[in-house]
Amino acid sequence: MAKNKYTIKRSCGHTFFFKHEDEAPELLHIYVRHLTTPEDSITAFFTGKAIWNKDNKRFENKTEKHTVYWLWLDEKDKKVLIISCF
């Protein structure tokens, strides 16, 4: 079984982790599934209001343009896993 690959981006003191697509490991999951970019995700993270979705156990930030699903990998160190962005 292949190990997951991530791209890391840093912005405003936060570190964001973006998973690569299993079937196309050279591409990011958010791009393959929704044609969105890390910049789209980071913008939605900082400009949208975070709401905890208890059913899916994730945060959701919505803006007029995008919605980003995310989790803290390490809140103290501001490490964020981006689950999806569309």
Q: What is the pLDDT of residues 39-78, one digit of tens each?
A: 999 999 999 999 999 999 999 999 999 999 999 999 999 9
* pLDDT-derived band at 31, boundaries 50, 70, 90: very high
**Is a pLDDT exceeding 70 seen at residue 1?**
no
Could you tell me if residue 1 is inside a domain?
no
**Is a pLDDT exceeding 50 seen at residue 21?**
yes
- Percentage, residues of the chain above pLDDT 70: 98
Could you tell me if residue 41 is inside a domain?
yes
Name the residue range of residue 39's domain.
Answer: 6-85
Full-model pTM: 0.92
Average pLDDT, the chain: 96
Count structural domains, the chain.
Answer: 1
How many Cβ atoms sit within 10 Å of the Cβ of residue 41? 29
In this prediction, residue 3 carries a pLDDT of 76
